[in-house]
Amino acid sequence: MKIEVISTNLEDVKADSVVIQLFEGAEAPEIALTLPESIRKEIAPSIEIGGFKAKLGQVLPIYPKSVNMARCFMLLGLGNKQELSLEAVRQAHGYAALKAEEMGSKSMAIPIPNLPPYTAPEITASVLEALSLAFYRFNKYRSKVEDSKHPELIRLVVDFDVRVMCDTAAHEATIVSEAVKLARDIANMPSSDLPPKRMAEMAAEVGRISGFSTKVLEMEELERMGMGGIVSVGKGSSNPPVLIVMEYDGGGETYAVIGKGVVFDSGGISIKPSEKMEEMKYDKSGAAAVIALMKAVAELKLPVRLIGIVPAVENLPSGRALKPGDIVRFRNGKTAEIISTDAEGRLILADALAYASEMRPKAIIDLATLTGACVIALGTHASGLFSNSDELANALINSGERVGERLWRLPLWKEYFEQIKSEVADMKNVGGRPAGAITAAAFLMNFIDNHIPWAHIDIAGTAWTQESSPEKSYIPRGATGIGVRLLADFLKSEVKRG
C-alpha cells in the first residue's frame, strides 16, 4: 500500500474513491470540512434526502455526474460531534476502508479534516492506522486466496502548512501499523509452527532487519541461571523452552518490556476442558506484542534503550511435566507451591521479572494473557492494569485512551496477598476464584524490586476477538495485536516528557 500526503484542491485529486467526512446533525448531516462548491453541489442531494444520517461508521458511496471528478464520493459518518475521539476517527475510517475494498477501489483519497482539539498529524496517524489494520488478513495458511482487492494507493489530502508534519505522522503510523500486523501474525500462528525456538529465530530475524539484537537462553543455561519457573513449565513439552532477550539501544533511559510467550496452553497436568482449547494458541499474544514493539521502536529510532524479554514455553502434560504439589524455585530465590499447572503464565513471568529487575530499568511493563478472571471482570473492552506506581499507571492509562486500547486499573492491596500464602513454600500459584486477576498480579509482584516502577497488563480479554465480541472495523477476527500501539505511544510520550 503506497501512501502519499499531498496538499491539493480536493476537486483535482485523482482517486477511485474520495472520502467526505460528516457529523450527525439535528436536521441534516454537517460536512466536517470545507468543500469546493462543485463537490458540495454533487453531494447535497444525498445529504438532504435523509437516508444518510452520518452515524459513526456509516458509509454512503455516491457517483458524481461530472466526469471530471472522482469516480465515487464516499460519504462517511463520524457520528456525534460532541462525542468525537481519535478512536471514533479510527472506527469510521476503518469502515470506509472496508467499503473501498468491497467496491474494488484501487485508490482512495482522504481529506484530513480540521477536528480540534486533535491536531492534523494526530488525525493523519489515526486514519492511516485504521486503513492499514482494517486490511489485515491472516492468509498464510489458505491455499486459495482471493486476489487482494484493497486499494493500493492512499492519498491523504492535508492543508499546505501542516503537510510536512502530517507526512512524518504518516510515516510513523505506517511503521507502527506494520508492527501491529506482525504481532497479529505471531499470535495467530498455530503453535506447531511456532515452538519456542522458532519464535526466538523469528525475533532474531526481525531484529536483523529492524535493528535490535537478540540473545536466546536455552534449557541448560536457564537451569544454570536458576530460572525454575520457565524450566518447570517448559519441561513437559518436547519443544524445549527458551528465554528471548532483545535489546535496542537508541540512547536514553532503559525500559524493560516482558511478554508472556506460552505458544500453546493446554493447562498441562491440570488440563483444560477441550472446548475452545484451540484458542490457547493466542497465549503467546504478550510475546507477539513485545517482539513487534521492538521492531516498531527500532524503526522509529526512539531515543530510549529498550529491553524486550520473552519467556517462551509450551504448556503440555507428559511424563516429564510439572505436577500439582511440586515446589518451584525462581530466579530471585523465592519458591512457590504448584496448585494448578494451568496457572503457568505467572511462573514463567516470575523469572522474567526477576531477571529484568536485575537490569535496574526505569520501568518494567509486562503484557500477558494471564487470567480468565480478567475476562470475566472487564470483558473485551479493557485490559486489566496493575501497578506499584501511580505515575506509571496514569501514563499508561493516558496512552490507552489516545490509541484506543483502554486500560482499567485494579488494586493490589495487601489483603490479596493472604490468598496466595502456602503451608510449604513462600507462596502458592493459585489464590482461589475470588479476585483471580488480582491474586495473579500479586503473585508477580513478588518478583520485582519495589523501587522499580512496574506495571502488569492482563490482556486475556483483549488479545483476540471471539464471535461474542462485536467486530471493530479495523480489528478483524483473531489476534488483535493489542499492546503494540499502546506501548509505542507510551515510550514516545516518555521521550517527550524527557
Q: Is residue 430 a contact point for ligand BES (CB under 6 A)?
A: yes
Stretch that binds Zn ion, among 40-48, 288-296, 343-351, 372-380 (CB under 5 A): 343-351
Applying CB under 5 A, among 42, 87, 129, 265 the residue interacting with Zn ion is 265
Among 297, 460, 488, 491, binds ligand BES (CB under 6 A): 460
Q: Contacting Mn ion (CB under 5 A), which of 24, 342, 366, 494?
A: 342
Cβ proximity to Zn ion: between 74 and 328 the closer is 328
Of 25, 372, 425, 493, the residue at the interface with ligand BES (CB under 6 A) is 372
Of 265, 314, 337, 351, which lies in the binding site for Mn ion, with binding defined by CB under 5 A? 265
Site for ligand BES in 281-320 (CB under 6 A): 283
In angstroms, give the least distance from the CB of 222 to ligand BES.
20
The residue with cell 477501489 is: 105
Count Cβ atoms below 10 Å from residue 64 Cβ, excluding itself. Answer: 17
Asked if residue 350 binds ligand BES (CB under 6 A), the reply is no
User: Which member of 87, 129, 344, 351 binds ligand BES (CB under 6 A)?
Assistant: 344
**Cα–Cα dist 164/6, whole Å:** 9
Single-letter code of the amino acid located at 193:
D
| Of 319-327, 341-349, 379-387, 396-404: span binding Zn ion (CB under 5 A) | 341-349
Q: Rule CB under 6 A: is residue 489 a binding residue for ligand BES?
A: no
Distance CA 271, CA 342 (A): 7
Return the number of the residue (373 or 427) whose C-beta is nearest ligand BES.
373
Contact 230, 241 (CB under 8 A): yes
Residue 287 and residue 235 in contact, taking contact as beta carbons nearer than 8 Å: no
**206 and 182 Cβ atoms separated by less than 8 Å:** yes
Q: Which does 170 bind (CB under 5 to 8 A by kind): ligand BES, Zn ion, Mn ion, none?
A: none
346, 402, 428, 492: the catalytic one is 346
Exactly one of 151, 345, 361, 481 binds ligand BES (CB under 6 A); which one? 345
Beta partners for residue 22, in sequence order: 31, 77
Closer residue to ligand BES, CB minimum distance, 15 or 460: 460
**Known active-site residue 329:** no
Choose one: 62-70, 129-137, 249-257, 339-347; the region binding ligand BES (CB under 6 A): 339-347
Annotated catalytic residue: which of 106, 272, 334, 406?
Answer: 272
Give yes or no for a contact between 24 and 80, defined as CB atoms under 8 angstroms apart. Answer: yes
Nearer of residues 21 and 341 to ligand BES, judged by Cβ? 341
How near is the Cβ of 369 to Zn ion at its closest, in Å? 6
Using rule CB under 6 A, residue 185 touches ligand BES: no
**Quick one: which segment of 76-84, 85-93, 330-338, 343-351 binds ligand BES (CB under 6 A)?**
343-351
Select the binding partner of residue 375 from ligand BES, Mn ion, Zn ion, none (C-beta < 5 to 8 A, by kind): ligand BES
Contact residue for ligand BES among 84, 89, 373, 448 (CB under 6 A): 373
Binder of residue 196, out of Zn ion, ligand BES, Mn ion, none (CB less than 5 to 8 A by kind) = none
Is 494 a binding residue for Mn ion by CB under 5 A? The answer is no
Q: For every residue of the chain, which 3-state class applies, written as one string? A: CEEEEECCCHHHCCCCEEEEEEECCCCCCEECCCCCHHHHHHHHHHHHHCCCCCCCCCEEEECCCCCCCCCEEEEEECCCHHHCCHHHHHHHHHHHHHHHHHHCCCEEEEECCCCCCCCHHHHHHHHHHHHHHHCCCCCCCCCCCCCCCCCCEEEEECCHHHHHHHHHHHHHHHHHHHHHHHHHHHHHCCHHHCCHHHHHHHHHHHHHHHCCEEEEECHHHHHHCCCHHHHHHHCCCCCCCEEEEEEEECCCCEEEEEECEEEEECCCCCCCCCCCHHHHHHHHHHHHHHHHHHHHHHHHCCCCEEEEEEEEEEECCCCCCCCCCCEEECCCCCEEECCCCCCCHHHHHHHHHHHHHHCCCCEEEEEECCCHHHHHHHCCCCEEEEECCHHHHHHHHHHHHHHCCCEEECCCCCHHHHCCCCCCCCEECCCCCCCHHHHHHHHHHCCCCCCCCEEEEECCCCCEECCCCCCECCECCEECCCCHHHHHHHHHHHHHHC
Please identify, among the stretches 112-120, 334-342, 437-445, 455-463, the one whose residues bind Mn ion according to the rule CB under 5 A: 334-342
Which of 371, 383, 387, 388 forms a contact with ligand BES (CB under 6 A)?
371
* Per-residue mark of binding to Zn ion, 272-311 (x: CB under 5 A): -----------x----------------------------
Q: Is 272 a catalytic residue?
A: yes
Question: Which residues are tagged catalytic?
Answer: 272, 346
Residues making contact with Mn ion (CB under 5 A): 265, 342, 344
Residues lying near ligand BES in the complex (CB under 6 A) are found at 265, 283, 340, 342-345, 369-373, 375, 430, 436, 460
